[in-house]
Structure 1
Amino acid sequence: MNAKTFELSPGYAISRVIRGGWQLAGGHGAIDGTQAVTDLIAAFDAGIRTYDCADIYTGVEELIGAARERLRNERGAEAAGAMKVHTKMVPDLEKLAGINRDYIRGIVDQSLKRLKIEQLDLVQFHWWDYAFPGYLDTMGWLNEMRLEGKIRNVGTTNFDTPHVTEILNAGVPLVSQQLQYSVLDQRPANSLAALAAENNVKFLCYGSVAGGFLSDKWLGEPEPEMPLENRSLVKYKLIIDDFGGWDVFQSLLRALRSVADRHGVDIATIASAWVLQQPQVAAVIVGARNQAHALANAKIMDIALSDEDNRQIGAIIAKSRGPLGDIYTLERDRTGRHGSIMHYNLNAGKK
């Protein structure tokens, strides 16, 4: 085991940078399937050998399945087996009241078929509203399928500390939680990190570059006006506001740029490397639009931040106001600033 891999569960190792799949779902423009498969394999060759997808990312499980098939055909079963795939299960809000075992098993079987495999490496479960109690039953059904061999590992996505506690107390062997973590958003450290350490639950982190805000592109730029280009930017602009506003954000970018200069990389690489060194963090999930981005993202695993680097970044973080609270609490308030921009029925109308 080296700094570029992490053993998430006994005998199951992942790369510390995970290739995100959301950008392949079509929300950022038309997708060329053949090129997408080539780019996915480029990430594999750069050392990013773990992939993140979801039942709600249209066509992404199929693309990753095609990349694995191409690896198998061109390089053999061992190469295909080295590609680890994490998927998410996100039942629509409107479906939560009627969730049953057959429905959950059907989603798992659908992911197996799309990915063209017999066992899912990791299923990460998200639940929109705790007022519906079916999340605990669902975790139990996923664990049943783990015991049957259809799933290797089970995890959660964006569950807060009390509900992760409830799931663990029910005897479900969680290995991970996928959550938002960045120099701007340190809610995982508020309470969940301590529980996770006690129960050997690791964090798989998205949002480490805040939708692109934590990059050289925004250094020295004036505060953007609403409406922003896409919902992702709106989401992370709200996080910047909670952090302390645009001026404090620019101070953070300047600090990150100074650290990046010492390492010969860009701001985004340093921002992700900072997350990677936080307690309980196993990996960061990053998007890549092309092969060049894959090569740049692989450099995250090579960065070792010094005490001076951390002091410089920490001095700005100490000036921040938030965001406050537990994991995903702001986003669950459907009438609030963060929750009102979320889409809660992402499978509606999909086959």
Structure 2
Amino acid sequence: MQRISIQPGYEISRVIRGGWQLAGGHGPVDTETAIEDMIAFADAGITTFDCADIYTGVEELIGAFRLKYGASRGEEALKRIRVHTKFVPDLAVLPTISKAYVEGVIDTSLKRLKLEQLDIVQFHWWAYDIPGWLETAGWLKELQTAGKIGRIGTTNFDSEHIQAFFDAGIPVASLQLQYSLLDRRPEKQMVRLAEDKNFALFCYGTVAGGFLSDRWLGVAEPEHPLENRSLTKYKLVIDDLGGWDLFQALLRTLRQIADRHETDIATIASAAMLRRPAVAAVIVGARNRSHLASNLAISDVPLSTEDLAMIESVMAQARELDGDVYTQERDRNGRHGSIMKYNLNKGE
């Protein structure tokens, strides 16, 4: 597994295991099995884990995993484990948010994860029209100075707001964002900003909720309603890009590339994103270890210049998506927090 330093002294695996699939609403989770799965990922080289304070039970699971991993593999091995959580204040809290509230949530994450300092706290704010996001980021910086937070990250902020953080002296280390072969909105401004300000991009949605996989190759265009909200969201992206025929052309191209490398479409789709400027890592959704081999292959596939040129040839025919990072999702969801929570990173 490839590794990368996103800041001096802070190294992560280039594939991050997402935690959304272990949260409530995805069926029962056996604690011991989940911990053993995490150990298998870490032993294989995927040593970075993503979670959030709103992913029910996931921080506690990772905390239990850390204890067992340190006891069985030793302190040196434990030092390679990185945990990226999120600070996601509820929509109803935003108008009256306070430093005490922020610190309380951070303290809870520390307790759940059994850490003295959170590696990265990724900050999300549901509605820009509710003031307080910049002040809240300032409180996170104060907690960083106090030693409770190692690095401040962000989730689903657009270019204008990321720039505002830097203008205010908030040291953003990373941005978790939807970025895939289909969704290239980050290439309008965000990639250049990340290179200029030296923060890392962590990509979710690299397989577009499962659309970028062999399952959909040669399949007739699905009709609504689709199986879940995730597929509905990414089908809108496909429609906006140019439709089902163009999407099928991309899948056929990815299948040709996958054949050359003896792998699958989803692996190629994620591997291609690791070749993008400013992209430090991709986040993969994993309820268990059943796809671990494919997850490991993402950083190892030796994509050639010809492979990447074939992808670009197809995507040159696509229309440009409107808006900046997460703009359409905010517009489509309005301020309905329960729906927006679904569209927050799931590590897909």
TMscore range, shorter length: over 0.9
Letter in 2 for 1:171: G
- Find the counterpart in structure 2 of residue 80 from structure 1: 78
- Find the counterpart in structure 1 of residue 345 from structure 2: none
1:203 touches 1:281 (CA, 8 Å); kept in 2?
yes
1:275 touches 1:281 (CA, 8 Å); kept in 2?
yes
Q: Distance in 2 between matches of 1:76 and 1:196?
A: 35
Backbone CA RMSD of aligned residues: 1.6
Would the alpha carbon gap of residues 280 and 207 (structure 1) be closer, same or farther in structure 2, given more than 3 Å must change? Answer: same
- Find the counterpart in structure 2 of residue 30 from structure 1: 28
Cα deviation, 1:48-101, whole Å, max 9, x if unaligned, reads 000000011110111111111110121222222211000011112221101110
Deviation at 1:238, TM superposition (A): 1.3
Q: Distance in 2 between matches of 1:141 and 1:120?
A: 15
**1:213 aligned to which of 208, 211, 214:** 211
**2:60 aligned to which of 50, 56, 62:** 62
Q: Distance in 1 between matches of 2:333 and 2:137?
A: 27
Percent identity reads 58
Larger mean Cα displacement after TM superposition, 223-232 or 268-277: 223-232
Question: Does 1:193 pair with 2:218?
Answer: no
Question: Does 1:113 pair with 2:111?
Answer: yes
Any idea what SS the aligned residue of 2:313 has? helix
Deviation at 1:106, TM superposition (A): 0.7
Deviation at 1:340, TM superposition (A): 7.2
Question: Does 1:343 pair with 2:335?
Answer: no
Q: Distance in 2 between matches of 1:42 and 1:293?
A: 11
**1:174 aligned to which of 138, 156, 172:** 172
Would the alpha carbon gap of residues 293 and 189 (structure 1) be closer, same or farther in structure 2, given more than 3 Å must change? Answer: same
Q: Distance in 1 between matches of 2:333 and 2:81?
A: 40
- Find the counterpart in structure 1 of residue 253 from structure 2: 255
- Find the counterpart in structure 2 of residue 349 from structure 1: none
- Find the counterpart in structure 2 of residue 6 from structure 1: 4
Deviation at 1:342, TM superposition (A): 6.2
Aligned residues: 342
Would the alpha carbon gap of residues 221 and 334 (structure 1) be closer, same or farther in structure 2, given more than 3 Å must change? Answer: closer
Cα deviation, 1:3-43, whole Å, max 9, x if unaligned, reads 71111111000000000000101333221221111111111
Q: Distance in 1 between matches of 2:68 and 2:235?
A: 39
- Find the counterpart in structure 2 of residue 154 from structure 1: 152
Deviation at 1:300, TM superposition (A): 0.5
Q: Distance in 2 between matches of 1:239 and 1:342?
A: 21
Letter in 2 for 1:253: L
Q: Distance in 2 between matches of 1:304 and 1:322?
A: 28
Correspondence 1:255-334 to 2 at 5 A: 255-334=253-332
Any idea what SS the aligned residue of 2:339 has? coil
1:331 touches 1:342 (CA, 8 Å); kept in 2?
no
Deviation at 1:289, TM superposition (A): 2.9
Larger mean Cα displacement after TM superposition, 194-203 or 16-25: 194-203
Cα deviation, 1:92-134, whole Å, max 9, x if unaligned, reads 2221101110011111001001101111000000111111221
Letter in 2 for 1:343: I
Q: Distance in 2 between matches of 1:342 and 1:214?
A: 26
Deviation at 1:344, TM superposition (A): 4.0
Deviation at 1:191, TM superposition (A): 0.8
2:330 touches 2:340 (CA, 8 Å); kept in 1?
no
Structure 2: any 5+ residue segments left out of the alignment?
343-348
Q: Distance in 2 between matches of 1:196 and 1:345?
A: 25
Q: Distance in 2 between matches of 1:342 and 1:182?
A: 24
1:92 touches 1:344 (CA, 8 Å); kept in 2?
no
Any idea what SS the aligned residue of 1:291 has? coil
Q: Distance in 1 between matches of 2:184 and 2:214?
A: 21
**TM-score, normalised by the number of residues in structure 2:** 0.95
Q: Distance in 2 between matches of 1:31 and 1:289?
A: 9
Cα deviation, 1:221-254, whole Å, max 9, x if unaligned, reads 1111211111111111111111211111111100
Q: Distance in 1 between matches of 2:75 and 2:204?
A: 30
